[in-house]
Amino acid sequence: MDKKIDKSQVKKVAKLARLELSEAEIEEFAGQLNAIIDYVERMNKLNTEGVEPMAHCLPVSNVFRDDVIKESLGTEKTLANAPQSDGPFFKVPKILEES
């Protein structure tokens, strides 16, 4: 891909994203985007035959613990530190107007 990102394309994308960019920023972003495209082009030239696609460069395993059924705290312990309670329930401030 020999096509480069020019200032008009940066201006168009900035307009779509509702960004106000100065001329200096437009030139800077055009250069940065072209550097990214050049890097991707270099990576596309690499021989990846026989390399299995992967989502991570390192082996990843699930770090979640197994679900284990155990006894709950119970209502009394659960509500012990609640600022306010109403019987077996947490009492919270009203946030909606009654209609």
35-93: per-residue pLDDT in tens? 999 999 999 999 999 988 888 888 888 878 888 999 999 999 999 999 999 999 999 98
Continuous H helices in the chain: 7-16, 23-44, 75-79
Domains (range + CATH), the chain: 7-44 (1.10.20.60)
Q: Give the model's pLDDT for residue 65.
A: 84
Average pLDDT over residues 20-39: 96
Q: Give the model's pLDDT for residue 2.
A: 62
Is 48 exposed, middle or buried, given 0-12, 13-18 or 19+ CB atoms closer than 10 A?
Answer: exposed
For residues 19 and 57, the model is more confident at 19
Q: How far lies 2's CA from each of 20, 22, 36, 43, in Å?
A: 28, 26, 13, 15
- State the residue for tokens 């994308």: 13
- Cα separation, 19 vs 12, in Å, equals 10
Identity at 58, one-letter amino acid code: L
String of DSSP letters for 64-79: PPPP-------HHHHH
